[in-house]
Amino acid sequence: MFIIIFMVLGILILLLQTTFLQLMPAWLGKPDILFLLIVYISCKPDILRGLVVVLLLGLLMDVFSGVFLGLYPVIYLLVFAFIKGISRRIAINEFAYQVPLAVISYLFVSTGMYIFSFSLAPDTPPQWSWGTVLLQLLMLTVIGAPVFGVFDSIMNVYRSISASGRILGTKRSNRFRE
């Protein structure tokens, strides 16, 4: 259920990003909401299902963006590992940490994208533009909190569904008799 809900959400965000958000003026930038979803999933304690969703979304992103197939899954999995590594030291599941974490992770992803693209095609290095990167970071900072709020409410819905499913769906035998 977790995988399905967040995959559907990821697909919806991807569709939004490739169509509607492209109409935004260039000077305003285009927010990477899917990246925020990746960060959000990575912050959750469920490692296995989170990993599956991140991998699938990376593969999906490869279809709609970029030139080198496999670049997005690698980058997203690195972000996942990076956040999981940090989560051992900081309680990043808390709302206050998520936005700064997203901003740092985006900087990490941008650097990763540049290095990977450069190493895959040294003759045609991508254009690094601090202006564009900083604009994206600013946008992630601004929209981060409300977007994470939406993701949280979706997560709560998922939890309530799964909790009610557990109560209604499965009848366990009397363990005291066993």
Partner 1 sequence: MIRKRGKRSSHIRFFLLFGCLLTAILILIISMAGRKEFSAPHKFGLEVIGPFQTAIAKVSNFADSILGKYVALLHVREENEQLRQELLKYKVANIEYREAVATNVRLQKLLELKESLPPPTLTAEIVGKDPSLWFRTLTINRGSSDGVQKGMPVVTVEGVVGQVLTSSPNYSKVLLATDPNSAIDVITQKTRVQGIIKGKGPDAFALHYVLKSAEVEKDDYVLTSGLGGVFPKGLMVGTVSGIENSRRGMFQNIDVIPAVDFSQLEYLIIIMKKFSLTGD
Rounded to the nearest whole angstrom, what is the least distance from the CB of residue 47 to partner 1 in the complex?
A: 26
Q: State the burial class of residue 60 (Cβ atoms within 10 Å of its Cβ: 0-12, 13-18, 19+).
A: middle
Reported in sequence order, the residue ranges of 23-159 that DSSP labels E, i.e. its strands, are none
| Residue 160 found at the interface with partner 1 (CB under 8 A) | no
Query: 2 vs 6, which CB is nearer to partner 1?
Result: 6
Distances (CA, A) of 122 to 72, 78, 127, 129, 130: 19, 22, 12, 18, 20
34 sits near partner 1 (criterion: CB under 8 A): yes
**CB nearer to partner 1: pick between 32 and 92:** 32
The verdict on 98 binding partner 1 (CB under 8 A) reads no
Query: Which run of H or of E encompasses 103?
Result: helix 95-120
Which of residues 8 and 47 has its CB atom nearest to partner 1 in the complex? 8
Q: Applying CB under 8 A, does 19 fall inside the site for partner 1?
A: yes
> For residues 105 and 83, is the Cβ–Cβ distance under 8 A?
yes
Q: How far is the CB of 81 from partner 1 (least distance, A)?
A: 21
The burial of 164, by beta-carbon neighbours within 10 Å (0-12 exposed, 13-18 middle, 19 or more buried), is given as exposed
Site for partner 1 (CB under 8 A): which residue of 136, 144, 148, 151? 136
Which residues of this protein are in contact with partner 1, per CB under 8 A? 14-15, 17-19, 21-22, 26, 30, 32, 34, 63-67, 110, 113-114, 117, 121, 124-127, 129, 132-133, 136
